[in-house]
A and B are shown apart, each in its own frame.
Chain A
Amino acid sequence: MIVPAVTLHDVAKAAGVHYSTVSLALRGDVRVASPTRENVQQIAARLGYATHPAARALVERRRSKAVRGPVIAWIENHPLEAVQGSIAYRNSVLEGGRRLAKTLGYECRAFRIGTGGIAAEDLDATLRLAGAECVIIGQFIPGHAELQLDWERYCIVRIDSQFLSASVHCVSSDRIHNVRRAFSEMWSLGHRRIGLCASRMQEDCTRQRHAMGYLMEEESLEPSERIPPLFYPYGTGHKELAEELSLWIERHKLTAVLHDFDSRWLGRPALPDHARWISLCEAQVRPGFRGIDPMAATIGEKAVETVAMLLRTGERGLPRFAHDIYVEGRWSHG
């Protein structure tokens, strides 16, 4: 809820002086006699007067004659190759965010903490120095550097990263919608043995939303017709996964495999003639693929749009109830 802030005028009324006197007194100007100055400062403190963060930031920037806009810090906690999913996907998300940030008058800068980046405990100082007003937690993954942040300073949004316990608004891909769409498209093409192969790590980062959608689609099948999803553990190498996949495909006689990994990372093991690989995250990144286009750029845009709204309305820090925004993917026939 927005409570109208205490203004200079409120302090002036309480102190029985003109508001310009209040302004001078709060800045410690010697033109105001020191008893008056102290009296005004005390009253301001009692009423809880504070310069509005937006006004402060505006004045600071005007004073420094800077041309650039406020900074959105885009933070990651892992080296790029740690994402078994798609690096191309991550790049499009960031690109989409950057583009909208520029249109809205922001400057978007990426930071990496942990391995190959700044030390986690130095993050806050770095962000202050950069003049960051907003923070986007960009696809953090478990088991890497942890986030140490003076939360109250910033307008914050995360992308995926749902394993983090902090209450932060989230923007993510609508994996329930996407996996159900892919399943029903393949079903209507006549496939009856459709499996899901997903990374435990990605599932932990997204509250098992691929599993949820997939299990719901399987509900309509006879229990004997259902195929247990293949969740591959943290740190699975591409060779191990390829072997396990082949066994799983053969055991369950699959004709279609819905998968969340980057097929360039895995290489695609040979499938029986009639079987198909269906990517849940690559269709846009690799044109010509049949599967889900996750609309990665829109996810980045939504994240920027959300922090921009938080900045406008002055909502910094951790909300009591964080909401999740999901962006629907599109089916691409390939």
Chain B
Amino acid sequence: MVKETKTLLPGPVTMKQIAAKAGVHQTTVSLALRDHPRLPIETRKRIRALAERMGYRPDPLLGAFNFHRNVNHAERARTVIGFILDAQARRCFSQQAGHPLVVEAARRTAKERGYSLELFLLDPQVTGVKRLAQILLARGIEAVVISTFEYATKRLELPWDRLSAVKIEGRHVWPSLPVVTNDQYQVTRMGVQKLHELGYRRIGLVAAAEAERRLGDAFRMGLTIEEAKVATRHRVPPLVLTDSSRVSAAETLSRWIWEHRVEAVVSNLNEVTDYLRAGGFSVPNDIAFCSLDLPLSKPHWAGVVQNHGLVGQRAVEQVLSLLYTHQRGIPLVPSVTFIPGYWRDGESAPGRRY
């Protein structure tokens, strides 16, 4: 009788059943289903094929329940997520190797999920890529987040086959891992749209050549699509500052403003306000300014607040998602996740009336 019931209601196939059939321990089955590099490839293949034949399916609800339990029992040995920083990126983040808000949120998110985040500074003078690869292997670190890298870095040779990894920005760096980044397209479009709503015409964009290369022309593209609705004669060609032109930036900026009769400047470079002052412009009396990366220290400015913290949070969430689903190495198809910003009114760009 009991036997019959069992055949009628077989229930889901368990790892135990697969282990019995394969003649291995349950742990081996678990490792094989996770495609864990600790097992020989042949063993993994054999057990996965068997599981497939037997109709094994993981239980997502059990996974969700376990996640919930782990979050509530955070006091246990914490697995380390590596956060790899580029020493040369210091000039992008006012002398720090990574964006402080990104790092802080990444650390918090890891902790909430029962992991710990450890920073590794990649500096050719001190710790090179080879040394870092050895450290990661020796420490048994399986998940890494790659922080922003300068445009000069084109490749990163780490043991990718053994790592679940995502990048923050850095679409220019090989390999093409999943990327999480601020949505600079949306941020720029929002800034330009809001300035239009406030009554400004002749909106000028100031961008840095290095950032534009690194971020795939996002600022100029956001401007172009918004200005496509505007009569050609009202459009202002963007001012792209190179490292060398930054030396005389105030002068260049003044000339550009006069030549194109710019009414409002949008830029993610907050030092533009210093250049404006040096050029004798008063904000907002002579010209309006809209920051595309509104800093915490300037709550009275108008502009777009970028969700830097959310970038760090999503990067950690994504790397954990890869870890949970046992995805290591370089994905076949690259993808990028964009995090939006939000608008804040301010006195640097008051509403205009004609």
Contacts and interface: CB of A to CB of B under 8 A. Distances in A.
29 contacts: A2-B112, A5-B68, A7-B72, A54-B61, A54-B68, A58-B62, A61-B61, A67-B11, A70-B60, A70-B61, A105-B58, A133-B61, A176-B216, A177-B216, A211-B228, A212-B225, A215-B221, A216-B220, A216-B224, A219-B224, A298-B332, A298-B335, A305-B325, A312-B67, A321-B340, A323-B338, A325-B335, A326-B338, A327-B333
Interface string A309-334: 10111100000011111111010000
A308 B225 CA distance: 34
B65 A55 contact: yes
A326 B336 contact: yes
Given A69-B59, A176-B221, A216-B221, A314 B64 contact: yes
Interface residues of A, number: 51
Given A105-B60, A308-B60, A323 B340 contact: yes
B167 interface: no
A54 B64 contact: yes
A91 interface: no
A321 B310 contact: yes
B199 interface: no
A283 B122 CA distance: 40
B174 interface: no
A50 B332 CA distance: 41
B335 A326 contact: yes
B71 interface: yes
Given A212-B222, A298-B335, A322-B340, 9 more contacts: A2-B71, A69-B60, A106-B60, A219-B220, A219-B224, A308-B60, A313-B67, A325-B337, A328-B176
B65 A213 contact: no
Q: 9 tightest CB-CB pairs across the interface, nearest first?
A: A54-B64, A105-B57, A58-B61, A105-B58, A298-B333, A2-B112, A54-B65, A324-B338, A309-B321
Contacts of A177: 216
Contacts, number: 134
A30 interface: no
B344 interface: no
B79 interface: no
Interface string A92-105: 00000000001111
A311 B64 contact: yes
B60 A311 contact: yes
A64 B321 CA distance: 29
Contacts of A69: 57, 59-61
A57 interface: yes
A5 B307 CA distance: 26
A302 interface: yes
A63 interface: no
**B63, B68, B340 — most chain A CB neighbours (10 Å):** B68
Contacts of A204: none
Interface of A: 1-2, 4-5, 7, 52-55, 57-58, 61, 65, 67, 69-70, 102-106, 133, 174, 176-177, 208, 211-213, 215-216, 219, 295, 298, 302, 305, 308-309, 311-314, 321-328, 330
A52 B65 contact: yes
Nearest to A325: B337
A5 B338 CA distance: 29
Contacts of B324: 312
A189 B336 CA distance: 28
Interface of B: 9-12, 57-65, 67-68, 71-72, 74, 108, 112-113, 176, 183, 185, 216-217, 220-222, 224-225, 228, 307, 310, 314, 317, 321, 324-325, 332-340, 342
A212 B220 CA distance: 10
B200 to A, nearest CB: 21
Nearest to A313: B67
A54 B336 contact: no
Contacts of A211: 225, 228
Contacts of A328: 176, 333-336
Nearest to B11: A67
Nearest to B327: A305
Contacts of A1: 108, 112
Nearest to B224: A215
B121 to A, nearest CB: 27
Contacts of B336: 174, 325-326, 328
A311 B58 CA distance: 14
Contacts of B67: 54, 312-314
B53 to A, nearest CB: 14
B333 A295 contact: yes
A37 B201 CA distance: 68
**B220, B221, B342 — most chain A CB neighbours (10 Å):** B221
A321 B339 contact: yes
Nearest to A311: B64
A53 B65 CA distance: 9
B146 to A, nearest CB: 18
Contacts of B342: 321
B221 A212 contact: yes
B225 A208 contact: yes
A199 to B, nearest CB: 16
B335 A327 contact: yes
A323 B65 contact: no
Contacts of A327: 333-335
A313 B60 contact: no
A313 to B, nearest CB: 6
Contact of A57 (B10, B61, B72, B314): B61
**A213, A302, A324 — most chain B CB neighbours (10 Å):** A324
A122 B178 CA distance: 38
Contacts of A305: 321, 325
Contacts of B334: 327-328
A25 B321 CA distance: 37
Contacts of A2: 71, 112-113
B228 A52 contact: no
B60 A323 contact: no
A65 B228 CA distance: 59
Contacts of A7: 72
